[in-house]
Structure formats: C-alpha cells, structure tokens
C-alpha cells in the first residue's frame, strides 16, 4: 500500500510536469550546513560587488524554516528557457533567458497554480513560492534534491538538459519523500573557466560576481570600470559564455513556453539598430521583459561602453 507521503510526492511531481516544468526534486527543509561557510567566505572576499542585498538575511538564506514556519519540504523546480532561435549576425548580445516575457511572472503563475492544486488535493498546506526574489539559495536546493550538480561556473548542471533553465521553489509545511543529490560530472573540464571573457571564474566552482559581465550590465548602477574595455565580447545584457561552451549544453532542447518566445524584432536587430534604439522601441521590444531591470538608460550605457 502506498503511504500518504509517497502519494503526495507523486501528485506534486505529476502536477509540476503538467504545468510544463522540466523537472521537480524535493529535499528536506533544514539548515544548509555545507553552504554556510562557502557563502560566508564569498561575502568576506567582497565577490558580491555592489549587490549589497546578498549580505542581508544571512540566516534566512541558509534556513528555510525561517522563511516558512514549520516548513518540512523544499520543492525545487526547473523551467527550460533554451530558445529555438538565437540572435544572428553582427549584433550586440543579450542573454537567452531575457528573450521573452520576464520569467518572474511566468513562473510565479505556475507556482501559484501548483500550490492551489496541492491545497485542493491534499488539504490545507502552508507554503510560499520563490522565484529568485527572496533570500533562497536556489542552486543549492536544486542540487540537494537531485536535479543536477553545481558546475565549475557555479550554475546548476544536468546530464540530460545542461543548464539553460530557471530554478524556483515551493517551501511547504508538508512532509514528503526526499530525493538524493546527484554526483558531479565536470571532471577535468575547464571550458567555462578558460572562456570567461573577464576571468570572473577565479577557481573551479567560485565566481567573483563583481567581475562578471552579467553583474556589470545588469546589477551595477554606476559606470562600468574602464579596465574592462574590450572584454565584453559584445554582451549588452547578461552573458552566456560559460554556458555556451559547456559540453553538457549539447543536450539542451528548445523550450515549449510561448511566453519565452522573443519579440519578432529582437533577433534581427543589428548593432546600428541597437545604437539608435529609442525609448519607445525599447518599451515595445521589452514590454514585459527582464531587460527592463536595467532600464533604457542602463542599456544605453552598456551599448555605449561596447561601442566606444
């Protein structure tokens, strides 16, 4: 006879699949003992740069029971964003995750529906949905629940699907069957370390956030340091270099989420188009996009930095 724990676990995983998630793994909501010293060391070396929010809520980042009272399980979910078409020709580049509608909206809706189904089918379950907007160590939880391992470029990697996906969680006060972590399959490969244009991967599994092109083009509000001139490889928003060169991304398959499809104009825009972009065009092309995070002025700054 199947016990309730197993029944509920299967229900959640089946629903996650129905909602279009790539995979779903579950781990026990408990203090992340291994992550604590790593996070502390990373912050002590100021690798967060101007991302001061990374210094806040240190305990909450490591202990989900401080985010959701009496939480028992962390349900980790992956949503594929690998596009069927990419930017071509001579153009300034933006990270593939930002081609379509801002993932926060897309995933939040799916998580709300999943939580709704859990409450409908199981009874009252308290929990919260998290999409990269609260102090949750997404990659650590996904790895703990067997969805992949954290690669040398510090992204989550799966043998079946590479790394082009978003990670989200439901933290709930329901005990479930827990998955076991998988093993590391980076081996002796150093492709990501060798390819990083700004040498932000300082050693295997350690990324200096304050040197990353994604940090400079999205998070940094001040001027980009002139010492990085000529090192951005034409990236104007984010950067995919460490993922593009990773051998495991040979197995990436295009997503089937219509909301992640790019605005028709986006893929055909040339460098000249970007240099002459108006605020109206920016608003039109990036209507509900994650690119809005850097604002029109930020994108202009990034393009000027690449052009000059």
Cβ atoms within 10 Å, residue 212: 24
Tell me the β-bridge partners of 207: 201
Q: Is 267 helix (H, G, I), strand (E, B) or coil?
A: helix
DSSP string, 139-178: HHHHHHTTS-EE-TTSSEEBTTTBT-EEEEEEEES---PP
Task: Calculate the CA 196 to chain-centre distance.
Answer: 18
Q: Which residue in 132, 173, 184, 244 is the catalytic one? A: 132
* Cα–Cα nearest to 165, from 79, 88, 230: 79
Cβ atoms within 10 Å, residue 129: 22
Spatial separation of the C-alpha atoms in residues 114 and 248, rounded to whole Å = 29
Q: Is residue 132 annotated as part of the catalytic site, yes or no?
A: yes
Owner of token pair 């043998």: 159
Give the gyration radius of the chain's Cα atoms. 20
Q: Which helix (H) or strand (E) holds 27?
A: strand 23-28
The catalytic residues are: 132
């Amino acid at each position: 006879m199947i016990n309730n724990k197993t029944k509920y676990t299967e229900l959640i995983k089946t629903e996650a699949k129905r909602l279009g998630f790539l995979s779903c793994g579950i781990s026990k909501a408990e203090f992340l003992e291994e992550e604590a010293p790593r996070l502390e060391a990373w912050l002590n070396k100021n690798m967060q740069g101007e991302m001061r929010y990374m210094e806040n809520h240190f305990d909450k980042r490591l202990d989900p029971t401080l985010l959701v009272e009496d939480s028992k399980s962390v349900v980790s979910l992956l949503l594929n964003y690998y596009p069927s078409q990419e930017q071509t020709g001579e153009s300034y580049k933006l990270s593939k995750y930002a081609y379509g509608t801002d993932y926060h909206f897309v995933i939040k809706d799916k998580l709300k529906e999943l939580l709704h189904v859990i409450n409908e089918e199981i009874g009252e379950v308290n929990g919260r949905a998290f999409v990269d907007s609260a102090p949750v160590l997404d990659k650590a939880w996904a790895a703990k629940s067997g969805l992949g391992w954290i690669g040398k470029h510090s992204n989550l990697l799966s043998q079946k699907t590479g790394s082009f996906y978003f990670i989200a969680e439901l933290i709930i006060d329901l005990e479930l069957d827990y998955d076991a972590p998988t093993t590391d399959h980076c081996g002796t490969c150093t492709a990501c370390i060798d390819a990083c244009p700004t040498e932000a991967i300082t050693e295997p599994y350690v990324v200096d956030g304050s040197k990353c092109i994604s940090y400079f083009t999205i998070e940094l509000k001040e001027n980009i340091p002139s010492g990085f001139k000529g090192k951005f490889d034409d990236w104007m928003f984010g950067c995919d270099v460490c993922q593009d060169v990773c051998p495991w991304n040979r197995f990436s398959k295009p997503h089937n989420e219509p909301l992640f499809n790019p605005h028709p104009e986006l893929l055909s825009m040339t460098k000249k188009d970007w240099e002459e972009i108006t605020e109206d065009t920016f608003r039109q092309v990036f209507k509900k996009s994650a690119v809005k995070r850097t604002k029109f002025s930020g994108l202009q700054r990034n393009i000027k930095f690449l052009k000059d």
